[in-house]
Structure 1
Amino acid sequence: MIDYEKAVARGVGSGGGAGARGWRSLLLLVALVASTAALYASFSSTLRVSAWFLVPPLSNSSPEEFVLLPSTCPTHPHTRPLLGRPLSASLSSAQVPVSTASPSLIAPSPSPAEGAYVPKAPPLVPDGPGFIPSPGFLPVSTVTPPSVAPVPRPRVGDDAMTDLQLIHAKKAIAGAPVVLHDPDLYAPLFLNVSVFKRSYKMMERILKVYIYEDGPKPLCHTPQLDGIYASEGWFMKLMEENTQFVVKDPNKAHLFYLPYSSRQLRTQLYVAGSRSMKPLSIFLRDYVNSISAKYPFWNRTRGADHFLVACHDWATYTTNLHEELRKNTIKVVCNADVSEGVFVRGKDVSLAETYVRTPNSPRKAIGGRPASRRSILAFFAGQMHGRVRPILLRHWRRRDRDMRIYEVLPDEIAAKMSYIEHMKSSKFCICPMGYEVNSPRIVEAIYYDCVPVIIADNFVLPFQEVLDWSAFSVVVAEKDIPSLKEILLGISGRRYVRMQTNVRRLRKHFLWNDKPVKYDLFHMILHSIWFNRLNHVHVR
């Protein structure tokens, strides 16, 4: 077989001369004859492409500008491979799949590392439950007949670069150096502070997010900053204002944000009294379908590099009419219940539910008393809905002075000590689930330096992939509610002081700021999305 690279290199090298031009003419003639035969055979039947070959360009260009042609005619099962060198012989191990493309005539660019050629790869094939596959060249199954029109020389795809960056970040995090002391991070709060610090640093250095401009208002791009569902609104506001992570060019993005509001969907689309979420689900289905039809980015990973942020209790259920949205997309939701088969631990993200009373001052009244000035053992007051709260009330209402458990805080008690003052004066703040597993009381307890006691089976706690919740909270199984006081009294005074100190140090990670601050709630949420996405990028 003729070595075309060497032949063409001789033709364009210094002092090529007439002999080189003769070689070049002969090679062009062979390529044209083979191409003509292939096109003639292309009108008969369908064929799978088995390999790619490099042939000389049809112009007086540099040797780097080889074009790719299929090894067999795309429409005939018996045509022989075109003359040339199989592209697979020059592929480096670092190549990763890039964007969807019809590889009819594609001009590759040389790899800066080894001079290899990287083609536009075919669509990504799932390697697991809808996730990005292991990096490597994916063979093309079937392709459309090649276009005879001239094709401009493309470059290495931006999506290939973003994939390589994610792989690099994952390897760097795996080799994170040990952190002995960091003035901004308190190690006892974390499962592995060294891994978190390296991951956060890589996020700051690498991560880019594209926000779709599509979507009607107020369903999209309309954050609400108050109430118990304020988390989704604050994240949307701060994300859309961000200049560090957000990019206008989607080809440079590692993640894609679907900026809709589950709270607005409930307000605008739910038919009162219908008990049906279908109108909300239909909107989401159509919204994602329109994005996947208009842009190529969803289809590259079937939505695995896209994320939504939604705090309403219904958020997980309204994804059911779009299979890829439900299974593949990173769902950042307050209702992080693994028992229902929608929220996937390790892929989806548990969103901290924050009750913001005054949007102009989301940090108002935070802080609490030291452990020595907390006279109440445990406190809860709230509406009686869901399966857990009625059991809590039945066992502990008016049974024990140390256990201040109320359905609604009585007026005569509230006149002397408000709800917030109760939390600031209690050692433990009881945080039982309501209709769903999530509760804003967890973050409220953290705001007021009260150790949260979480009662919600199957609940994935916020930032559980990096935080050690046993260092600053107590998780009680629903079946152990009758033993609640015994469990709390079993915590020694020394351990309690340590836990309460940890809560105070933890608080900054759960705060909203008008302008995001390093390691605050906005950045912690974004880090969890980044971290979980990296967990599903496969490294060879």
Structure 2
Amino acid sequence: MSLTHFSLLLSFFLSFSLPLLSATPYLSPTTLFPNYQNMLKSFKIFTYSPPRPLIFSTTPESLFFSSLLKSPFITKDPEQAHLFFVPFSSHTSTRSLGRVIAGLRNDFPFWNRTLGADHFYISCEGLGFNSNRNVLELKKNSVQISCFPTSRTEFVPHKDITLPPLADPHASNGPTNKTKRHLGFVRFGAVKESSLLSELRDDPEFLVEAGPSDELTFEEMLEHSKFCLFEYGEGDVSGISDAVRFGCVPVVITDRPIQDLPLLDVLRWQEIAVFVGWNKGKDGVKVNSLKRVLHRTCGDEKYEEVRRLCVTAGLHFVWNEEPQPYDAFHMVIYQLWLRRHTIRYARREVA
């Protein structure tokens, strides 16, 4: 999508939604876009040199790192940096990571000024709390960028960030005229094998994909379904990016509050998704109760508004080889920008 096309779309959306703040996918639409422009002009990141070539376990991690290095946010002058990036490979052991942090502590003045609070790192699975002093400081103080979902024991809300899952780059960029023939769609692996999945297979209102399919078929499944079901903590939720982009409103089945949703500092997830609670100790979710929740969201006017907001939010889930305005890379950077100067310190005086 071109910058002009995206700007026109955002202008149209904002002119429609700003008079009614409840009809926006954004937490703060009046500040997001001017803040984004300020970020582009001023935000600077210094990255330490990795001791060896980096190897990441997922494509979003690799895309983020390569995009960061090519971006105008990088500065070679650490005195101008707002944040510092600590690079290490996905397979780095705790002992090796401890040595990396010890090296930063001994060789540079920046870590000790804030004990790492103005530093960030990428770890798809997230770091656990560890007895190693250096790794513990990194975990407690620095911003962790991990993959969604991340174990709740390895994710610190309000500090850490998750990367949007990789979405199909060829997904439609706006609502289509496809008829929504199915109430819900469940992709292979999105909901674990259970009594719920068995009931869904037998219900004619739900489309259950029995196995992997080609992308065209998958796209049609999304476009012809009102809702896409995901089970947080048990099933595969990576398809949530494709769901929002195709206007298949995500239905997230969960037994606890979710604090690691992608772009949580940007999007009002309660406006673009449906969250269904369930208790593992009971009978779980029954199809009839699930359908009652979905039908309450299915009134023509209400559903179309949720779907429209969903598609708009989906524009921010796109990972590009060459970053584009407001895409996934820039939204992760924006969340880092919101965390700059967590701890303020006196800058050196220049003689």
Alignment of 1:434-473 (within 5 A): 434=233, 439-456=237-254, 457-460=256-259, 461-473=261-273
The answer as to whether partners of 2:149 and 2:237 remain within 8 angstroms in 1 is: no
The answer as to whether partners of 1:516 and 1:523 remain within 8 angstroms in 2 is: yes
Q: Which one scores higher on RCO, CA 8 angstroms, separation ≥ 6? A: 2
In 1: Cα distance, 2:50 partner to 2:173 partner: 40
Q: How does the TM-score come out when normalised to structure 1?
A: 0.53
Structure 2 partner of 1:346: 158
- 1:360-393 C-alpha deviation (Å, 9 max, x unpaired): xxx1244576365121111112238xxx623464
Which of residues 255, 267, 285 is equivalent to 2:83?
255
Q: Structure 1 residue 404 and structure 2 residue 232: aligned?
A: no
SS at match of 1:298: helix
Give the share of equivalent positions with the same residue, in percent: 27
SS at match of 2:76: coil
Structure 2 partner of 1:317: 128
- 1:230-249 C-alpha deviation (Å, 9 max, x unpaired): 2111100100111x210011
Amino acid at match of 1:473: A
SS at match of 1:332: strand
Distance 1:251-1:319 versus aligned 2 partners, 3 A rule: farther
- 1:13-63 C-alpha deviation (Å, 9 max, x unpaired): xxxxxxxxxxxxxxxxxxxxxxxxxxxxxxxxxxxxxxxxxxxxxxxxxxx
Alignment of 1:331-480 (within 5 A): 331-335=144-148, 339-340=152-153, 342-354=154-166, 363-367=169-173, 370=176, 373-383=179-189, 389-391=192-194, 393-394=196-197, 396-406=199-209, 408-409=210-211, 418-434=217-233, 439-456=237-254, 457-460=256-259, 461-479=261-279
Distance 1:423-1:258 versus aligned 2 partners, 3 A rule: same
Superposed displacement of residue 323, structure 1? 0.8
Structure 2 partner of 1:102: none
C-alpha RMSD of the superposition: 3.1
Superposed displacement of residue 213, structure 1? 1.1
Structure 2 partner of 1:289: 102
The answer as to whether partners of 1:337 and 1:458 remain within 8 angstroms in 2 is: no
In 1: Cα distance, 2:308 partner to 2:102 partner: 48
Q: How does the TM-score come out when normalised to structure 2?
A: 0.79
Superposed displacement of residue 494, structure 1? 1.0
SS at match of 2:340: helix
The answer as to whether partners of 1:284 and 1:318 remain within 8 angstroms in 2 is: no
In 1: Cα distance, 2:266 partner to 2:93 partner: 33
Distance 1:364-1:370 versus aligned 2 partners, 3 A rule: closer
Q: Structure 1 residue 504 and structure 2 residue 306: aligned?
A: no
In 2: Cα distance, 1:253 partner to 1:493 partner: 49
Amino acid at match of 2:218: Y
Distance 1:522-1:392 versus aligned 2 partners, 3 A rule: farther
Superposed displacement of residue 518, structure 1? 1.9
Superposed displacement of residue 339, structure 1? 4.1
- 1:387-418 C-alpha deviation (Å, 9 max, x unpaired): x6234644534231112235x338xxx59x83
Superposed displacement of residue 326, structure 1? 1.0
Amino acid at match of 2:208: I
In 1: Cα distance, 2:200 partner to 2:56 partner: 38
SS at match of 2:323: coil
Amino acid at match of 1:316: L
Superposed displacement of residue 471, structure 1? 2.0
Name stretches of at least 5 consecutive residues in structure 1 with no aligned partner: 1-180, 266-278, 357-362
In 1: Cα distance, 2:194 partner to 2:344 partner: 45
The answer as to whether partners of 2:175 and 2:308 remain within 8 angstroms in 1 is: no
Amino acid at match of 1:239: L
Distance 1:400-1:336 versus aligned 2 partners, 3 A rule: closer
The answer as to whether partners of 1:428 and 1:453 remain within 8 angstroms in 2 is: yes
Structure 2 partner of 1:241: 70
The answer as to whether partners of 1:463 and 1:524 remain within 8 angstroms in 2 is: yes
Structure 1 partner of 2:3: none
In 1: Cα distance, 2:192 partner to 2:240 partner: 15
Greater radius of gyration (CA): 1
Structure 2 partner of 1:486: 292
Structure 1 partner of 2:33: 197
Distance 1:336-1:398 versus aligned 2 partners, 3 A rule: closer
Distance 1:477-1:337 versus aligned 2 partners, 3 A rule: farther
Distance 1:320-1:253 versus aligned 2 partners, 3 A rule: farther
SS at match of 1:476: strand
Distance 1:196-1:537 versus aligned 2 partners, 3 A rule: farther
